[in-house]
Structure 1
Amino acid sequence: MAQTLDTLVRRTASIQGIRSVVHTMKTLSVINAAPYEHAALAIEAYHQTVLEGLHAFLVGAGPLGVDTSRIARRVLVVFGSDHGLCGNYNEAIAAHVRHHVDGEADGAATMLCIGAQMADALQDQGFEVEKTFLPAASVDGLERLANLLTERLDEIRRSSHPREIAVSLAYSARGEGDVPVLKIVALLPLDQALLRDLRSKPWNSRSLPSYSMPAGDLFRALVRSHLFASLFRAAADAMVTENAARLALMQQAEQSVDDRLEELKSDTRTLRQSEITTELLDVIIGFEALKKKKIPGPSPEQKPKA
């Protein structure tokens, strides 16, 4: 179907508007990721302090043993997104969780998820979600989310008492070269390798650590802080990779829009040149026609006399 010049101009203006929106979304993705990166670094420093406290506790209390046969319930916390424009972010994590659970000897697990879209993706994979939490809308919401998750895990642990619970986190984190990596990290029971490393680590001080509160209460407080820091870090990493996924998608969209815009501009130039050529030809043809009409015949004076 032939296109008019006005149609091409309107389409070009519309595509330029879309490009402006895409460019704005790309810029926002870069800007929004920075605070979450800073939050992840800050909570990592706090987490190291918690681990140092656990190290001091182990120096005084000795090695700890975990009886995995006493685990009554397995809990999987899955971090997703509700913000959109990030491709198959939720679906990829849900498929990874499905693969992980199918590979476990005991596949049954209580599902806690962050984001309604993630809940839908998990349900599409055949999971039942016990509770859905709203994702953090800003960096200030990370602490709220981590506290809510920690409180919910405390409730589950109390309902399973005297037996323990096993907690794992599923989220997307940055890997080498900023390539997103899907992770499933076990939090509880505490990793025996981590406890051995802390126990064997030398205490670089002339003063031995001591504490006045009951050992059980202190240990539970340290574990709770470890849980909070890990949940906070996972939420921050998830938000960083979500914005990275959105940035990559917007870059692809911007390239597609630029290609389409270049095609429209080329079509506009071609059509404009064609119209100019047609108008010039019309002028030339009309001029030639007028010249033929204005050629004078011989005047009466110039007629031969009889």
Structure 2
Amino acid sequence: MAQTLEVLSRRTASMEGIRSIVHTMKTLSVINSAPYEHAARAIESYHETILLGLHALLSQIGPLESSSSAARTKVLIVFGSDHGLCGSYNEVLASHVAEQLVDASQQTIVLCVGAQMADALRDQRLAPETTFFPPASVDGIGRLANLLTRHLDDMRRDHGTDDVAVSLAYFTRDGNKGQRPEVIALLPLDRDLVQELQTKPWVSRSLPAFSMPPTTLFQALIRNHLFASMFRAAAEALVTENAARLALMSQAEQSVDDRLDALMSETRSMRQSEITTELLDVIIGFEALKKNRHSKTALPKKESN
């Protein structure tokens, strides 16, 4: 009986240690989400400035020449996780990417952010050409976006063409529904967006002016458009990753609490049984002593007769 109580005590102590770890992970997920969410909102303002610059440029140089031919090189950048404890986060996004590429008529170069996502993509038979480490802090988001932008520049130079189609795949927040996987096209620019910028009147007392050559300025704006879009995708991926980890840790914490309640109930029952057994032993011993005492007092009476 004592050994069983000792085993239950060890199990209870182990579960309490696990609960402490789960609670710590849950707290870290909440703390880490806030700065990434602020970064995602901040880059949206910067992106609006880039689009305003494109609007100013297009209002002066006229409509862009649209190319009807498909891009020579297609690149898909997938933003995933480099750490575990976030459920099927990477697997769901990799499956969504595979569904998007199943009907692709042209081979797509896949770039991946996160070692866990790279493994999930390989399971879908999508081998990433290059795998990047995700940022460990808010400051690292800008470095990652800049690294990806430079890598795309190197790919254009290596392939000897500027005709590159770039898309991003990542988890984004979906209001009360939680999160959903999304694949968005960055290059070539969306025709509706370009048409809107070209037809939208410039509301100002003075017309915009620029000193740089239009082609150089347009390339710089497109590069910043890529940077801002990848910055936002990386920030959204980190927010949703921590949200997924928070949800998983909340479920784990509830499971641990249920198991602790069961162990405590079993321990109380075992202790009560032990106390009852000890009381019965005392009572039985008392009755045995009492019986022996009566036997000793009854013996002399028989001898006198």
TM-score range, shorter chain: over 0.9
1:165 aligns with 2:164: yes
Q: Find the residue that maps to 2:102 and give its secondary structure.
A: helix
Q: 2 CA distance for matches of 1:200 and 1:254?
A: 55
Specify the code of the residue in structure 2 equivalent to 1:147. Answer: N
Q: 2 CA distance for matches of 1:178 and 1:237?
A: 15
Q: 2 CA distance for matches of 1:63 and 1:3?
A: 84
Q: 1 CA distance for matches of 2:85 and 2:271?
A: 37
- Identify the residue that residue 100 of structure 2 maps to in structure 1: 100
TM-aligned CA deviation for residue 180 of structure 1: 1.1
1:53 aligns with 2:53: yes
Are residues 70 and 96 of structure 1, via their aligned partners in 2, closer, same or farther at CA, if it must alter by over 3 Å?
closer
- Identify the residue that residue 10 of structure 1 maps to in structure 2: 10
1:297 aligns with 2:298: yes
Q: Find the residue that maps to 2:69 and give its secondary structure.
A: helix
Q: Is the 8 A contact 1:74 1:166 kept in 2?
A: yes
Q: Is the 8 A contact 2:83 2:116 kept in 1?
A: no
Q: 2 CA distance for matches of 1:298 and 1:194?
A: 114
Q: 2 CA distance for matches of 1:135 and 1:162?
A: 28
1:229 aligns with 2:228: yes
Of 69-78 and 10-19, deviating more is: 69-78
- Identify the residue that residue 256 of structure 1 maps to in structure 2: 255
Q: 1 CA distance for matches of 2:3 and 2:99?
A: 51
1:89 aligns with 2:89: yes
TM-aligned CA deviation for residue 220 of structure 1: 0.4
- Identify the residue that residue 40 of structure 1 maps to in structure 2: 40
Q: Find the residue that maps to 1:172 and give its secondary structure.
A: strand
Q: 1 CA distance for matches of 2:35 and 2:237?
A: 13
Equivalence map 1:181-196=2 (5 Å): 181-196=180-195
- Structure-2-length-normalised TM-score: 0.94
Q: 2 CA distance for matches of 1:2 and 1:168?
A: 64
Number of residue pairs aligned between Structure 1 and Structure 2: 302
5+ residue gaps, structure 2? none
Q: 2 CA distance for matches of 1:160 and 1:189?
A: 17
- Identify the residue that residue 153 of structure 1 maps to in structure 2: 152
Q: Find the residue that maps to 1:71 and give its secondary structure.
A: coil
1:28 aligns with 2:28: yes
Q: 2 CA distance for matches of 1:117 and 1:271?
A: 45
Aligned CA-pair RMSD: 1.9
TM-aligned CA deviation for residue 261 of structure 1: 0.7
Q: 2 CA distance for matches of 1:277 and 1:263?
A: 21
- Identify the residue that residue 112 of structure 2 maps to in structure 1: 113
Q: 1 CA distance for matches of 2:28 and 2:66?
A: 46
1:244 aligns with 2:243: yes
Are residues 147 and 173 of structure 1, via their aligned partners in 2, closer, same or farther at CA, if it must alter by over 3 Å?
same
Q: 2 CA distance for matches of 1:109 and 1:163?
A: 16
- Structure-1-length-normalised TM-score: 0.94
Identity %: 62
User: CA-to-partner distance for each residue in 1:88-141, whole Å, 9 max, x for gaps?
Assistant: 2111111111100013333x1011111122122212211232111111111111
